[in-house]
Amino acid sequence: MNQQRIQECIDKLFLTNTNNYIFIYTPPKVGSTTLVTSLRVSLNKSYNIVHIHDEIMLNVLTGINDVTINDILIFLSNKGKNVFVIDVYRTPVERKMSEFFEKLSPYHFNNKEENISNYSITRISDRFNKIFPHIENGDHYFDRYNIVNPVPFDFENKYTIQEINNIKYIKLRLCDSNLWDKILSNIFKIDIIIIHDYKTENKGIGELYKKFKQQYRLPSNYIEIIRNDKYFNFYYSELERNNYISSWSCKLTTLCIPYTEHEYKFYMNLCLENQYINDIQIDHYIDNGCFCKYCTKKRREIYFKAKDGEKNFEKIIHIEVVNEEREKKINTIVEKVKTIKQIHQQKQKFRPKQFNINVTNK
């Protein structure tokens, strides 16, 4: 592999030159955006942090298509850099739901969110059930990291960390997200604050998504798909598996005949051909990772507000933050000028009157 190409890729991915790197290298819809924002805000400039799903996304970010993510990890490790890779597991039904709703408007129904919000849950459920077995459910820790023997998940500490070739691979579960602050603070030896970001419930389609989760019933033949899922069996203890299966066994409906592989391929091609809604996401995160002095200042403000319990934050968008700071400076100057003018006016008001005295020599 051309070392120069890998270095070029790294230069395009990261904004600063530090010895510390974190790759949030996960499938979509597992809570990874929350991790990215939380770590960027909490760690600030001390770590370079990138959020990536696969080589397609790497190519989009860098314009380079002959370098893999694993090439970059090994390259940085061989350079003596401190490299962390984080993946997250999410239960199969919930992950499929979230991924389905992520593309509900631009792909599956090719309609505006405000129109889809009026669709019946039956209509949404029928489409979801037809493609359910085909919606992605892979696991990067098993499938992407080239780890021959993944260590068993630590059900007591709620995470695992496995070091291979000086690269530290961390596995979390979304069901433990209420513990992520403690887990990550322990790993990185700094106080990590979790800031929830990019939740489907907060989008335009959010109310429909909430209603869908409440009313959805799983086809009875799909419960076996979940029961036999190898990732589910690896990341959930026997008790957790039983509880999860039991919870869905209470919410079953009649069996469903899903699309075949051929039918699903035709369905997706048709969705893409008909797509007219742009699904490219701009300013995806609360914190987009800019390290200029203004964005750094804004990041610290969010960090301390989050520590005080605030939940909602505006995005750190560089141009907006710069304009906000410029406006503050202008307002400060205007206020200073007004103050000086007022002081001057007050002095003029109370200045003693001057009298002219004519002295005549006689």
DSSP 205-219: THHHHHHHHHH--EE
Q: How confident is the model at residue 260 (pLDDT cuts 50, 70, 90)?
A: very high
- Whether 134 is in a domain gets the answer yes
Q: Which of 42-46, 219-223, 246-250, 259-263 has the lowest mean pLDDT?
A: 42-46
- Whether 349 is in a domain gets the answer no
Instruction: Identify the pLDDT of residue 65.
Output: 87
Query: Which secondary-structure segment (H or E) carries 224?
Result: helix 223-227
Is residue 281 over pLDDT 70? Answer: no
Residue 35, token pair as written in the block: 């991790």
The whole-angstrom distance between residue 253's C-alpha and the CA centroid of its chain comes to: 33
Is residue 282 over pLDDT 50? Answer: no
**How many domains are contained in the chain?**
1
Mean pLDDT of 159-168: 96
Q: Enumerate the β-bridge partners of residue 24.
A: 51, 86
- Whether 357 is in a domain gets the answer no
- Whether 310 is in a domain gets the answer no
- Whether 137 is in a domain gets the answer yes
Is residue 229 over pLDDT 60? Answer: yes
Between 40 and 303, the higher pLDDT residue: 40
Sign of the C-alpha dihedral computed for residues 195, 196, 198 and 203 taken in this order: negative
Instruction: Identify the pLDDT of residue 56.
Output: 86
Contact at 8 Å (CB) between 72 and 28? no
Mean pLDDT of 231-235: 97
- Whether 84 is in a domain gets the answer yes
The rounded distance, in Å, linking the Cα atoms of 108 and 102 is: 10
- Whether 325 is in a domain gets the answer no
Residues contacting 130, CB < 8 A, separation 6+: 256, 258, 259, 267
* Structural domain that includes position 192: 3-289
Q: For 312-345, b where at least 16 C-beta lie within 10 A, e where not — what string?
A: ebebbbeeebeeebeeeeeeeeeeeeeeeeeeee
The rounded distance, in Å, linking the Cα atoms of 255 and 259 is: 13
Instruction: Identify the pLDDT of residue 328.
Output: 74
Q: How confident is the model at residue 357 (pLDDT cuts 50, 70, 90)?
A: low
pTM listed for this prediction: 0.79
**Listed residue (321, 328, 324) closest to 283, CA to CA:** 321
- Whether 58 is in a domain gets the answer yes
Q: Is 164 helix (H, G, I), strand (E, B) or coil?
A: strand
Looking at the chain, the number of H-run helices and the number of E-run strands are 16, 7
Mean pLDDT of 45-72: 90
- Arithmetic mean of pLDDT over the chain: 86
